[in-house]
A and B are shown apart, each in its own frame.
Chain A
């Protein structure tokens, strides 16, 4: 079936299977910053912004979001010009294997868009859907706090 999605601000016309997940659609179209983790919505590696809100893309069927807007980590920053959230996560030592990082960046981005000065509890709630097996969470929270002062 044919659908349209706005991905990172650009309107795309895509051919999809009716049972395809948003995660699958994005990855096969080159948005590999979206990671496959658990496939059950538990780990947060596949988080993208759907209409500016973080969602687990493995739990969304692409056909259901025909005409809607998706933001992936590729739409937030680039290698040459990283977003301040990405810079602060690196500075805080919050990135090791990096598998959880794109999802964390997007959840933090969505939080700071609506709440520029979050408390630590608000940061923890915003990131409660992300599992990190490398650095733990102290450094990630520190990175988001520092980013809040710059965004």
Chain B
């Protein structure tokens, strides 16, 4: 029982929702799993705003903020955007994945959500309504304050005709990930043309490894030096009560090498 909740608002449009957020002491409610510790006096029901959809628009895919993890995980992705499905299909548990929404996960950014890392590797963007209404590249969005007076309406994911891999490392399936990794590679004539590598959970805010990407772009995918470049990655992992920082950094290097092995296997299988 959330004793503090006294009132529900049921807006019928995005504009009305933005107005309620701006004026009142109420927070948005969609899946509900992030609202349990809310100190707000009111909740704004987003479930009737028709934000539960996955639409293909000019090769891009638009995912409504109210779309559940299971709906995304079970969608028939036709290209490497399937790494988003892989990530969300491993988050939390089946009954929770029917509740948790992609918009809520981006708003609250809980440790278990797995959402930012694949979106970074896929070059996604996040549409928000509010002041100002705009569309942010996912990397910029992740640096916005969590309590900003806007709400997320849609996530847009560009086509991903290349090769993608998503890996998540945790003690058990249901545990928070100690690290997750998403890699997207586009190849032309055996040469790496686009390289996006994103890591999450290991660091405070998920991000791409820009220097590593730069060092790999332009190399032949079969280049035997790639493993050495991957093993040279350096960052300072967050303190973790289960694993030492040294272990986590070594695990990241191992997962990177595994990811590239998996990508080569995908390429050679074609």
Contacts and interface: CB of A to CB of B under 8 A. Distances in A.
Q: Do A and B come from one complex?
A: yes
23 contacts: A17-B1, A18-B8, A21-B1, A24-B1, A41-B93, A42-B174, A50-B98, A54-B98, A56-B95, A56-B99, A59-B31, A59-B36, A59-B96, A61-B2, A61-B5, A61-B43, A63-B8, A64-B29, A65-B47, A103-B95, A107-B95, A125-B89, A129-B93
Nearest to A41: B96
Contacts of A97: none
Contacts of A42: 93, 174
A64 B32 contact: yes
A67 to B, nearest CB: 9
Interface string A105-139: 00100000000000000000111110000000000
Contacts of A60: 32, 99
Interface magnitude class on chain B: 20 to 34
Contacts of A47: 95
Contacts of B29: 61, 64
Contact of A129 (B4, B45, B95): B95
B174 A55 contact: no
Nearest to A44: B95
Interface string A58-74: 01110111000000000
Interface in A3-34: 17-21, 24
Nearest to B89: A125
B7 interface: yes
Contacts of A59: 31-33, 36, 96, 99
B161 to A, nearest CB: 28
Interface residues of A, number: 30
Interface in B142-186: 173-174
Contacts of A91: none
Interface of A: 1, 17-21, 24, 40-42, 44, 47, 50, 53-56, 59-61, 63-65, 103, 107, 125-129
B1 A55 contact: no
The main secondary structure of chain B at its interface with chain A is loop
Contacts of A63: 8, 43, 45
Nearest to B70: A53
Interface of B: 1-8, 29, 31-33, 35-36, 43, 45, 47, 70, 89, 92-96, 98-99, 173-174
B232 to A, nearest CB: 37
A15 to B, nearest CB: 14
A41 B6 CA distance: 23
Contact of A125 (B4, B31, B43, B94): B94
Top 5 closest pairs, chain A to chain B, by CB: A129-B93, A19-B2, A19-B5, A129-B95, A54-B95
A61 B98 contact: no
A122 to B, nearest CB: 10
Given A41-B33, A47-B95, A64-B45, 7 more contacts: A18-B6, A40-B36, A42-B93, A54-B98, A61-B32, A64-B32, A107-B95
Nearest to B30: A64
B35 A61 contact: yes
A103 B173 CA distance: 19
Contacts of B8: 1, 18, 63-64
A59 B99 CA distance: 8
B36 A127 contact: no
Contacts of A53: 70, 98
Given A1-B8, A41-B33, A64-B29, A55 B95 contact: yes
A21 B33 CA distance: 11
Nearest to B33: A59
